[in-house]
Amino acid sequence: MEKIVGLINAPFTPFYADGSVNFEPIPAYAALLARNGLKGVFINGSSGEGYMLTEEERMQLAEAWMAAAPEGFKVIVHVGSTCVKSSNRLAAHAQKIGAWGVAVMAPPFPKVARIEELVKYCEEIASGAPDLPFYFYHIPAFNGAFLSMLDFLKAVDGRIPNFAGIKYTFESLYEYNRCRRYKNGKFDMLHGQDETILPCLAMGGAQGGIGGTTNYNGAVLSGIIDAWNQGDLEKARELQEFAQDVIDVICHFRGNIVGGKRIMKLIGLDLGPNRTPFQNMTDKEEARMKQELEAINFFERCNK
């Protein structure tokens, strides 16, 4: 299967003030991302509040992103849910509309505690889109699935024909590298932590990744990969440190899903509030966050 090279963005879901989905910004959103070096989108995941969307909303969002995607722009649809039958239907829909790939994270309930449970979960969902690359989204901080991804690769190998790889959003570069080296790099290991792109390039041989702060800082994060490829380690370090500075700011404002989404408004693309039960930022918090971003010259370097 084709391996992803470059960064895929995990977009926020735009909402109106009443909490309903707002599809209007998506064409401008897709254009912004492409203009700043992103290679596609990973929709309806954690940044997109996917578990808080109805099945119909998720399908409509997938259709809207497919309609807005520039030529060559990959649309990967996260279809994970607490109902495996629903996930299978969402996967089938993604294949029907021509999405590039599908993905799932482990469900938040019930907790997946064994490799075989996770394989069966993925197997049933992947069968809904047999012609698309299927990725597992490893983010145990969200669902408690602290399982060995190397053991998972060994168990899934040959069992799910369209299994493509893992979006790896965890702190162990050692495990990431072991997974990347499995059978001479058989599977696509997508780096999933924007704060450690450079060390993953150096140690893990990463080629592609999926990010959340790429929504507003994608040009800088893509620049890390470009600088590394050009052998300019000092520039890559400077860009990585700036990316960490931005992440430090959003951590003061409930992280990327809440604080990061409000940054989109500050750079000219208002995507509305977060859906309940997220605690939305107040106007005072927005003003403080803007001041913190100005202090690191964010608005001179952010996505345009």
Q: What is the mean pLDDT of residues 248-264?
A: 98
Other CB atoms within a 10 A radius of the CB of residue 268 amount to 11
DSSP states of 148-166: -HHHHHHHHTTTSTTEEEE
- pLDDT tens, 120-150? 999 999 999 999 999 999 999 999 999 999 9
Q: What is the mean pLDDT of residues 189-216?
A: 92
Mean pLDDT estimate for the chain: 97
Q: What is the pLDDT of residue 206?
A: 81
- pLDDT tens, 270-298? 999 999 999 999 999 999 999 999 999 99
**How far, in Å, CA of 31 to CA of 234, rounded?**
30
| pLDDT surpassing 90 at residue 261 | yes
Q: What is the pLDDT of residue 203?
A: 81
Q: Within a domain: residue 167? A: yes
Q: Within a domain: residue 155? A: yes
| Residue that wins the pLDDT comparison between 93 and 206 | 93
Q: What is the pLDDT of residue 1?
A: 84
Q: What is the mean pLDDT of residues 202-225?
A: 93
Q: Within a domain: residue 252? A: no
How many domains would you assign to the chain?
1
Q: Within a domain: residue 107? A: yes
Q: What is the mean pLDDT of residues 249-258?
A: 97
Q: Within a domain: residue 102? A: yes
Say which of 167, 168, 176, 261 is annotated catalytic: 167
pTM of the predicted model, to two decimals? 0.97
Q: What is the mean pLDDT of residues 164-183?
A: 95
In which band, very low, low, confident or very high, does the pLDDT at 98 lie, cut at 50, 70 and 90? very high
In which band, very low, low, confident or very high, does the pLDDT at 116 lie, cut at 50, 70 and 90? very high
Q: Within a domain: residue 257? A: no
Of residues 276, 277, 274, 252, the one with CA closest to residue 265: 274
Looking at residue 39, which CATH number applies to its domain? 3.20.20.70
In which band, very low, low, confident or very high, does the pLDDT at 67 lie, cut at 50, 70 and 90? very high
| pLDDT surpassing 90 at residue 250 | yes
Is there a catalytic annotation at residue 235?
Answer: no
Is there a catalytic annotation at residue 137?
Answer: yes
**Which alpha helices (DSSP H) does the chain contain, by range?**
26-35, 55-68, 84-96, 115-126, 140-143, 149-156, 173-181, 197-204, 214-229, 233-251, 255, 261-266, 283-295
| pLDDT surpassing 90 at residue 90 | yes
Say which of 51, 121, 135, 137 is annotated catalytic: 137
Q: Within a domain: residue 110? A: yes
Q: What is the mean pLDDT of residues 18-35?
A: 98
Q: What is the mean pLDDT of residues 44-64?
A: 97
Domain of 92 in residue numbering reads as: 6-233
- Cβ atoms of 301 and 219 within 8 Å: the answer is yes
Q: Within a domain: residue 166? A: yes
Q: What is the pLDDT of residue 204?
A: 72
Q: What is the pLDDT of residue 205?
A: 76
**How far, in Å, CA of 135 to CA of 116, rounded?**
17
